[in-house]
Structure 1
């Protein structure tokens, strides 16, 4: 019997990040000395006090179902975190816990989008934004940011992209894959456009704790009562507390939407993983020393590795202000090394130089590659040395 897939999945593009990471792992397992700069996760283990809280919860028998929208105690921890870090107040009914920020975003799009609703997506973007929008029947409207504008879109660009079908704008600051951080002034102008045009703002703040130098993370929800009412804050413990595998994220925003999302989750996931929720409670309520230690270390790695990447022939890098990625424009290097495009260039780096990077095509940025510096400085410097050697050996004027 011939089996036909649902049309909603046949148009999906696989996650470039996960595909490259899987290929690099396969090569490593076969004995090849591959350095992976692809994965978007801290290279630290989860802090001990969080591990101990999870173990304690299991020993105490806290292994059963929880409410679909998350444990009340975890919602309270999120509310306290938002009060302390952003200075804004939410109630339990305005917060939902999900299985990672990715699941929360997916559930939000499924809840607010009708067929052909449009969502403005600044590019370069995280790979899953357009795919999740399409899965919900919506249309991603890509607005291209330039390296001259530090990979940040302007309020004027957003206003120009809005149509009667526009339902929402998604913002990611600090950004993946760019590492760029929107200033308060930039966000105020964007918030005003969204107010006038009456559209939702989806603020992905998962890299909030990883900001360097003089940059400051500002949540657009803090700028006015109107901005708070139309903004959904998306965040979680994955990046801030090195808990990527625990899969705990949250949304804070409009009560009616959060209630509908919780109803949807009750028929899809039942509840977030119970043990992970107790770990997340400790992550938010316990010591934040490890969070700051990681931030400082990533900042130190950035200062070491940025000039080395910038020095590679044909690489042009805007220095990031947050997250743990570099996004060099490698179009000149591609031209002089004889490759057709960035995908072929990245493939050759993996197979010949044994360095795994993510081609920018998956981020809507076909002239770039993403390098994650969430690995040891020794491996980072060796990876850059290999890339530099690869480019110089193949360079053809």
Structure 2
């Protein structure tokens, strides 16, 4: 019998995040700090708008690009938050989560053999999406001593005559690192000089602490070179609604829309109506959740430092990335032993790239009560194995 499978797909490894999530879901009394999902319910007024759209029978396909009202609100949002001006008719595509936007952008832009620079540690989808688009992923290993930020020299050292795209994953999952405006300016200089494009994943843009998010697309000469990826899952606690978007140059968005048209048709209609309400009236909800995450962030960083684990202070997203090298265990060994001995699930840093070895991702998108219990168990584990 002929092999029915695509070898390119077979050779892609499953997500290292889901492995621990699946284990902990079947373990009694286990606490997971592994999944990057807000513990808040979607704010009621946003849910209500979704419910109302169903009650009014608004259950038909929208345009491939998304509801006009939603695309207008996305443009309004990007202008007031990032000082970016887009045309809702041509420059915005509403997608099934930010992940679809990443996939469609890479497929629309990559020719076979094009090199895509991926700073790691970073979100697990970038590398497989590049491979599925027949591109060549080139990993830039970010360094702990730089707080896992991308430097100008690291970028320059990775560019060849085949480089086409830089993935810019900030605020970062899993490290919580951000890039300041001055740091982004140095990156933008290289992008323009080398005639590259940027896929800027800004899904955590609303979750920064003590500093306002800056989009690289807002810097001079960068808007025409950047696809901005964002969505509603993290900022508005709308993970299950599966809604994201891309904004960028018309010629790229047109090709992304073609892919979206044939693969998806349109994003869920109910979710789109809810998202209009989120953008129009959701700022207070975002602020409330961000303030709560900030309290948890400070608690978790302090708790880890009290355990004697080195942990730089994250200023974005809802993750910390402590170093566990002092215990003489690999990331996998630590995570597996912690789960078996103390029933606490964290994600090995290697799930986000080989340079994540010796680190763990801990999500603080959980209640303080759960964090206290889980970190108490973890402190006991660290003391036992030190």
Query: TM-score with structure 2 length normalisation?
Result: 0.97
After superposition, residues 19-58 of structure 1 pair within 5 angstroms as: 19-27=19-27, 32-58=28-54
Rounded Cα–Cα distance in structure 1 between residues aligned with 2:194 and 2:106: 19
- Tell me the residue number matched to 1:326: 320
Contact 1:108 1:261 in 2 (8 A): yes
- Tell me the residue number matched to 1:289: 284
- Tell me the residue number matched to 1:173: 170
Residue aligned with 1:202, SS: strand
Contact 1:181 1:216 in 2 (8 A): no
- Tell me the residue number matched to 1:9: 9
Is the aligned partner of 1:366 residue 2:357? yes
Contact 1:169 1:201 in 2 (8 A): yes
Rounded Cα–Cα distance in structure 2 between residues aligned with 1:120 and 1:283: 33
- Tell me the residue number matched to 2:373: 382
Rounded Cα–Cα distance in structure 1 between residues aligned with 2:275 and 2:11: 35
After superposition, residues 159-308 of structure 1 pair within 5 angstroms as: 159-213=156-210, 215-224=211-220, 226-308=221-303
Rounded Cα–Cα distance in structure 2 between residues aligned with 1:10 and 1:287: 41
Which consecutive residues of structure 2, in runs of 5 or more, have no partner in the other structure? none
Q: Which digits, 9 at most, give the CA deviation of each residue in 1:183-237, with x for residues without a partner?
A: 1111001001000000101111100111112x2211111111x111101110011
Is the aligned partner of 1:151 residue 2:148? yes
Give the paired residue count.
383
Residue aligned with 2:267, SS: coil
1:312 CA displacement: 1.7
Contact 2:236 2:282 in 1 (8 A): no
Which consecutive residues of structure 1, in runs of 5 or more, have no partner in the other structure? none
Rounded Cα–Cα distance in structure 1 between residues aligned with 2:114 and 2:336: 36
Residue aligned with 2:212, SS: coil
- Tell me the residue number matched to 1:77: 73
Contact 1:173 1:217 in 2 (8 A): no
Q: Which digits, 9 at most, give the CA deviation of each residue in 1:128-174, with x for residues without a partner?
A: 11111111111111111111111101011101111111110011221
Contact 2:197 2:225 in 1 (8 A): yes
Return structure 1 stretches of 4+ with deviation > 4 angstroms. Answer: none
Q: Which digits, 9 at most, give the CA deviation of each residue in 1:102-130, with x for residues without a partner?
A: 01101111111112111111111111111
Residue number among 51, 61, 66 corresponding to 1:65 in the alignment: 61
1:2 CA displacement: 5.4
Rounded Cα–Cα distance in structure 2 between residues aligned with 1:246 and 1:149: 36
